[in-house]
Amino acid sequence: MDSLKKAKKKKSKFGINVKSKKKSAVARATIKNGTGKIKINNRLVDTINSKYARDFIKEPLVLAGEDAKNVDIFITVHGSGFMSQAVSARACIAKALVEHTNSEKLKQKFLAYDRLMLVDDPRRVESKKPLGTKARKKKQKSKR
């Protein structure tokens, strides 16, 4: 009977843990009550060089408003390129905020803005095939 009940996420003593993926980039976040610090790989978000990636990562914080100002989020990201890492870090922040606040209104706000904030992108790189340099590229055939 207990196995039929909906499983709740377990809170660790360090906070709530969430995970997000994009291509081969994997982001893991821990959220807990704090002063509004957001660190990615032990660096503050404001130190990210690319302004576009920085603003992209901060989108869930702007949408959440006051809910984001009283939590600390620590993210570790590895794999893939910098933009895939930014997408997975952004999704991790959004998932962590929804999990921490238990707010259905915030969840609907994120889904209406961009579904990729709460749902991981399932697309992956297609595998290479024989007789070609890439997955679909082949040498051009000549008829004579």
In this predicted structure, the answer to whether residue 11 has a pLDDT above a threshold of 60 is: no
Of all residues in the chain, what percent carry a pLDDT higher than 90? Answer: 76
Q: Write down the pLDDT at residue 4.
A: 53
Residue 9: band (very low, low, confident or very high) from pLDDT cuts 50, 70, 90: low
Mean pLDDT of 78-88: 94
Residue with the two structure tokens 């499983």: 7
Residue 3 in this model has a pLDDT that exceeds 80: no
pLDDT surpassing 90 at residue 5: no
* 3-state secondary structure string across 25-91: EEEEEEEEECCCCEEECCEEHHHCCCHHHHHHHHHHHHHHHHHHCCEEEEEEEECCCHHHHHHHHHH
Sequence ranges of the domains in the chain:
11-117
- 10 pLDDT higher than 80: no
27-41: burial string, b at 16+ Cβ within 10 Å, e else: bbbbbbeeeeebebe
**Residue-wise pLDDT tens digits, 30-41:** 999 999 899 999
The hierarchical CATH code for the domain 11-117 is 3.30.230.10
pLDDT at 13 over 90: no
Confidence of residue 139 (pLDDT cuts 50, 70, 90): confident
Q: What is the mean pLDDT of residues 7-14?
A: 58
